[in-house]
Amino acid sequence: MTSPNDNLNTLEQQDPDVYAALRGEEDRQKTGIELIPSENYTFPEVLATLGSVFTNKYSEGYPGRRYYGGQEFTDKIEDLARDRAKTVFRCEHANVQPLSGSAMNQAVYLGLLEPGDTILAMDLSHGGHLTHGAPVSHMGKLFNFVRYVTDPVDGSIDYDQVRKDALEHKPKLVLCGYTSYPRDIEYEKFKEIADEVGALTMTDASHFGGLVAGGAMRNPFDFGFDVVTTTTHKSLRGPRGGMVLCTKDLASKIDKSVFPGLQGGPHMNAIAAIAVTLKRAQTEEFKDYAKQVLKNSQTLAKGLMDRQANLVTGGTDNHMMVVDTMKSYNLDGRVAEETLDKVHITTNKQIIPDDPNPPLRPSGIRIGTPAATARGMKEGDMEQLASWIDRCLRSPEDEAVHEEIRGEVVKFCAEFPVPGI
Ligand SMILES: *Cc1c(COP(=O)(O)O)cnc(C)c1O
């Protein structure tokens, strides 16, 4: 039996251009420190399953009810993935077919609501995601999104304002979850507010799904939530994909919404890889990983703040932090991101609450620890990282400093093998 890596040898002969880019990306991943909070290194078995024969198979429908023959093994794989998802997230139903995170959220809105219905969700510049009703998104045009914001003083969600917004706009769905918010969510408050106006509750746990799975962060289902969505490729460390988890009552609406409502054939290679990921998520090793992600995040945040960096909300409860680079270093987020790229430290420019600057030149950067932790980095390494980041951003023009740090980073990276390469 050949492994996907053996097949790369034939790729080298067949298509040297793609082969060269692939090797280049491998090298980039090995010799740099990945701090984009939504990225991770997946397990070698996930890479292998993604490149497996499940890629060849059409499986429209659900296990036991498919529109094509030959489903003996795909049914088994999808049942495994669904059952494991239910165990890991302690929920009644799981749909593992969404092709990615955006599709999974679209499936929820379109399956549970009517066009024009009101959804209460977090404002983009305060930490929400594009799929939470950004005006440029199709969902933002189809549904009436009302967006709540964070408290201007402490930066956390202003629950009194959320309640006022809910009472005023009577949403059908109250959505919490974020893409750039460094604090945990008070699910009991969201649930109370939603109950008061008779709305459904949804958490988009795309960023922290792996931390919930590993028991390091709280599970919205423990607070009576109706729906939780999560990507599978961020803190969960699986293939690129999305899942909708929900109560029994909503199961059939969600399933019909994913297929045939929104999608055609599921990617069975990704579903097989999700099954593999969710078995891993139940191990002690994964639980330790999830805890370490948070410890690393707190250590890195402290390291930066000890060096006078300004963090939105003044710290972190989760796997990420948002650094106000304008206030800290008088650099916009784009320059900060590009400067760190020079020393092989990968972050992303980030808008901050009520950012006066535009999205491509925002006032901050976002930093997260899931990928670095997957390579085995611990608290001491975060201290080292804080020192490099700070020094680099304090010398944005100094090529000599960049070269020195880059050399140190590359040497440091060699001690932390990338899983699967
Ligand atoms: C990443 C993310 C998504 C979308 O995921 P894609 O796979 O990029 O489509 C949705 N919601 C939140 C909160 C996210 O962070």
Q: Which CATH class is domain 53-280?
A: alpha beta
Average pLDDT of the residues in 114-136: 95
pLDDT at 2: 47
Average per-residue pLDDT in the chain? 96
pLDDT at 4: 53
The answer to whether residue 60 is catalytic is: yes
Taking the domains of the chain in order of start, what are their residue ranges? 53-280, 292-413
pLDDT at 58: 97
Kindly report, residue by residue over 6-29, the tens digit of the pLDDT.
678 899 999 999 999 999 999 999
The answer to whether residue 58 is catalytic is: yes
Task: Tell me which residue of 69, 81, 95 sits closest to 259, measured CA to CA.
Answer: 95
The answer to whether residue 66 is catalytic is: no
Question: β-strand 200-204 against 173-177: which pairing, if any?
Answer: parallel
Lowest mean pLDDT among 9-13, 32-36, 159-163, 247-251: 9-13
Write out residues with Cβ below 6 Å of ligand 1: 38, 100-102, 105, 129, 131, 177-179, 204, 206-207, 231
Q: Rounded to an integer, what distance in angstroms lies between the CA atom of residue 43 and that of residue 226? A: 30
pLDDT above 90: percentage of residues in the chain: 95
Q: What does residue 65 show for φ and ψ, rounded to 5 degrees?
A: -140, 70
Which of 106, 129, 227 best tests ligand 1's pocket when mutated (most atoms within 8 Å of CB)?
Answer: 129
Kindly report, residue by residue over 319-365, the tens digit of the pLDDT.
999 999 999 999 999 999 999 999 999 999 999 999 999 999 999 99
**pLDDT surpasses 80 at 1:** no
The answer to whether residue 192 is catalytic is: no
**Protein residue whose Cα sits closest to atom 7 of ligand 1:** 101
Asked, colleague to colleague, whether 53-280 and 292-413 share their fold, the answer is: no
**Protein residue whose Cα sits closest to atom 3 of ligand 1:** 101
Q: Measured on CA atoms in the order 392, 398, 401, 402, is the torsion positive or negative? A: positive
Catalytic residue among 158, 204, 355, 390: 204
Catalytic residue among 12, 19, 45, 58: 58
Choosing among 3.30.70.3450, 3.40.50.1820, 3.40.30.10, 3.90.1150.10, the CATH entry for 292-413 is 3.90.1150.10
pLDDT at 3: 52
**Protein residue whose Cα sits closest to atom 6 of ligand 1:** 101
Which amino acid appears at position 383 of this protein?
Answer: E
pLDDT above 70: percentage of residues in the chain: 99
- 396 neighbors 390 (Cβ within 8 angstroms): no
The set of residues, in sequence order, having a beta carbon less than 8 Å from that of 140 and lying 6+ positions away, is 133, 134
Q: Distance of CA 357 to CAs 36, 127, 164, 352, 362, Å? A: 21, 16, 28, 9, 5
The answer to whether residue 285 is catalytic is: no
The answer to whether residue 391 is catalytic is: no
Which atom of ligand 1 is least distant from the CA of 241?
A: 7
**Where does the pLDDT of residue 199 fall: very low under 50, low under 70, confident under 90, or very high at 90 and above?**
very high
Which of 211, 231, 233, 350 best tests ligand 1's pocket when mutated (most atoms within 8 Å of CB)?
Answer: 231
pLDDT at 5: 60
User: Is 0.85 surpassed by the pTM of this model?
Assistant: yes
Which of 123, 139, 179 best tests ligand 1's pocket when mutated (most atoms within 8 Å of CB)?
Answer: 179
pLDDT at 6: 66
Cα 175 to averaged position of ligand 1 atoms, centre (Å): 14
**Protein residue whose Cα sits closest to atom 15 of ligand 1:** 179
**Protein residue whose Cα sits closest to atom 10 of ligand 1:** 101
Where residue 34 falls (left for φ over 0; alpha for ψ -120 to 50; beta otherwise) is beta
Kindly report, residue by residue over 236-288, the tens digit of the pLDDT.
999 999 999 999 999 999 999 999 999 999 999 999 999 999 999 999 999 99
